[in-house]
Amino acid sequence: MTDLDPDEFRRLGHAVVDWVAAYRAGLPDRPVRPAVTPGQVRAGLPDLLPEHPQPLHTLLETVDHVVTPATLAWQHPGFYGYFPANAALASLLGDLLSGGLGSQGMLWSTSPAGTEVEQALLDGLAGALGLDPGFTFAGGGGGTIADSASSAALVALLAALHRSSDPEGSSTSRWRDEGVDGHERVYVTAETHSSLAKAARVAGLGGRALRVVDPGPGGVIAPDALAALLRADVAAGLRPVLVCPTVGTTGTGAVDPVRAVAGVAREHGAWVHVDAAWAGVAALCPEHRGLLDGVELVDSFCTDAHKWLLTAFDASLLWVRDARTLPAALSITPEYLRNAASDSGAVVDFRDWQVSLGRRFRALKLWTVLHTHGLEGLRSHIRGHVALAAGLADRVAAEPGFALAAPPSLALVCLRCDTGDPDADDRATRALLAAVNASGRAFLTHTVVDGRYAIRVAIGGVTTGAADVDALWDLLRRCAGWVAEQAVASDDVSGAPRHGSQL
């Protein structure tokens, strides 16, 4: 046998679990961002293609000495960049179970349990989020676990293209036979995630298909501007295919007015896809349900469990109101995939809800998280971070030399330096960001709000708590003081205080 003997697997598996446990426990003592230069990792790697079997401990040594020191520590309690990708330990156990089963869930018949656990979980979560029952399988819709919100947007767009070229719902459409004709249009804002532009490109629509709707107050979609653009496009013979409002934009966490957008889009038969990749899971808490106002009117809704719902990448949750739409656009059945269960029409084949054929049993990972923490645990995880963000925003607003760059949204706070001179603010804010990141104590990323540079603090790490956010605030103030003292004019912070120094 070429595989590990099961007893050997057990022994090595314990060693790997011990390694992960020690890594996670030791994270607070490590810098969040590694001091690494391009090429350093490759130069430190041993021969990766050994001719003869090697013991596991030598691999773990290389991970310790070469990989870990060159890894941005996304699970560090001081990680506030992008949107955190919190990977709770429970979800790693679920992933291990899934890999252990090693099933391939392209069809119901290739993984009946994989398919039905996923259906049951997504139906349950639809209820827990307060989604309209029309998004459940029992209600004629249904949900699936995609690898990413980007893939979810792509399949939503493909379903929208199919529907727009086949409004009567026959089994074939012009789009499927002839492809796009250049008249398709997709409506976004300047704040929409770039995955929508990528989806349009992948679908062959080209950049001209993207319509950027003028923003209203707060930078969110202005429904009147959307309505005017749609009317003008239809009058010009163009075809509005999809409109994408965002619930929780990547830059500032802003929320587009979904209800009004859906009303306008539906007048022209356009598909409405809500991208709530980060913020959507907050609707588990009744006090945040308002985020989903109007979602009952849309065609598809996506939120990532792998950002803020404790589930290790990848697990993006996508619901559609009409379960027929994705298979109608994506199903292609060669002889070798034919089987009685699919032919019966009584089962869901998730290969028809995604681009790739094969798929993992991701539901087991999500299920393990839900089982371990319960909905109440997930709600308190979210509530804890929202409260920490509110506290941080209050401190920023009250501190001379700092300003909020946008209203805080859930667990996201955008801030900048406030010197009284916009150009100097931008320079100081850039330098502040660079100094914080160089310290190794915390990791932050940036955005631009109304043309001005801003630092984003996205609270969401599995272990990020009050003491960490207190330490971050202290670090921000000290670094801002250092920046002001040095009058740093660029992001050259080579002299900034480092991890382990007096900061």
Nearest residue (CB) to ligand PLP, 111 versus 150 = 150
CA distance 276 to 129: 12
Q: Residue 355 corresponds to which tokens in the numbers above?
A: 């681009």
Quick check: helix, strand or coil at residue 498? coil
Contact residue for ligand PLP among 275, 299, 418, 425 (CB under 6 A)? 275
- Residue 270 or 305 having the CB closest to ligand PLP: 305
Shortest Cβ 152–ligand PLP spacing (Å): 8
User: What gap in Å lies between CA 279 and CA 307, rounded to an integer?
Assistant: 9
Spatial separation of the C-alpha atoms in residues 399 and 405, rounded to whole Å:
13
Burial class (CB in 10 A: 0-12, 13-18, 19+), 338: exposed
Q: Give least dist CB 480 to ligand PLP, A.
A: 27
Q: How many Å apart are CA 468 and CA 88, to the nearest integer?
A: 18
Number of residues counted as binding ligand PLP (CB under 6 A):
15
Pair 193, 279: CB distance under 8 Å: no
Bridge partners of 146, per DSSP, are: 316
Q: Does 119 bind ligand PLP (CB under 6 A)?
A: no
* CB 202, min distance to ligand PLP, A: 13
**Residue 184, strand partner residues:** 239
Cα 220 to Cα 23: distance, rounded to the nearest angstrom: 41
Identity of the residue, 4 or 448, whose beta carbon is nearer to ligand PLP in the bound complex: 448
Nearer to ligand PLP among residue 79 and residue 108 (C-beta): 79
b/e code 303-337 from CB counts within 10 Å (16+ = b): bbbbbbbbbbbbbbbbbbbbbebbbbbbeeeeeeb
Nearer to ligand PLP, 278 or 402 (CB): 278
Closest contact distance (angstroms) between CB of 251 and ligand PLP is: 9
Piece of 94-102, 274-282, 320-328, 414-422 that binds ligand PLP (CB under 6 A)? 274-282
* Contact (Cβ atoms closer than 8 angstroms) between residue 401 and residue 392: no
Q: Strand 210-212 relative to strand 184-188: parallel, antiparallel, unpaired?
A: parallel
- Rounded CA separation 106/228 (Å): 42
* Residues 227-256: x where in contact with ligand PLP by CB under 6 A, - otherwise, as a string: -------------------x--xx------
Task: Based on the shown chain and the rule CB under 6 A, indicate whether residue 316 belongs to the binding site for ligand PLP.
Answer: yes
Distance CA 253, CA 30 (A): 29
> Looking only at residues 183 through 202 of this chain, which bind ligand PLP when binding is defined by CB under 6 A?
193, 195
> Least distance (Å) from ligand PLP to the CB of residue 76?
18
By CB under 6 A, residue 419 contacts ligand PLP: no
Residue closer to ligand PLP (CB basis): 379 or 456: 456
Residue 304 sits in the site that holds ligand PLP (CB under 6 A): yes
Assess 277 for contact with ligand PLP (CB under 6 A): yes
Does a cis peptide bond (omega within 30 degrees of 0) precede residue 352? no
Nearer to ligand PLP by Cβ, of 276 and 496: the residue is 276
278 forms part of the interface with ligand PLP (CB under 6 A): yes
Toward ligand PLP, which CB reaches closer, 83 or 367? 83
Q: For 342, how many CA atoms within 13 A lie in the half-sphere containing its CB? A: 20
Closest to ligand PLP by CB, 68 or 148 = 148
What backbone torsions phi and psi does residue 437 show, to the nearest 5 degrees? Answer: -65, -35
Please identify, using beta-carbon distances, which residue of 108 and 313 lies nearer to ligand PLP. 313
**98 is an interface residue for ligand PLP by CB under 6 A:** no
Binding mask of the shown chain, residues 61 to 90, with x at each position contacting ligand PLP by CB under 6 A: ---------------------xx-------
Would you count residue 148 as binding ligand PLP (CB under 6 A)? yes
Are 330 and 158 in contact by the 8 Å Cβ rule? The answer is yes
Nearer to ligand PLP, 188 or 475 (CB): 188
Amino acid (one-letter) located at 214: D
Does 163 bind ligand PLP (CB under 6 A)? Our answer is: no
Q: Select the span of 7-15, 73-81, 146-154, 483-491 touching ligand PLP (CB under 6 A).
A: 146-154
- Contacting residues for 4 by C-beta, under 8 A, at least 6 apart: 12
Stretch that binds ligand PLP, among 147-155, 411-419, 433-441, 472-480 (CB under 6 A): 147-155
Query: How many helices and strands in the chain, by DSSP H and E?
Result: 16, 11
Rounded to a whole number of angstroms, the CA Rg of the chain reads 24
Q: Which residues bind ligand PLP (CB under 6 A)?
A: 82-83, 148-150, 193, 195, 246, 249-250, 275, 277-278, 304, 316
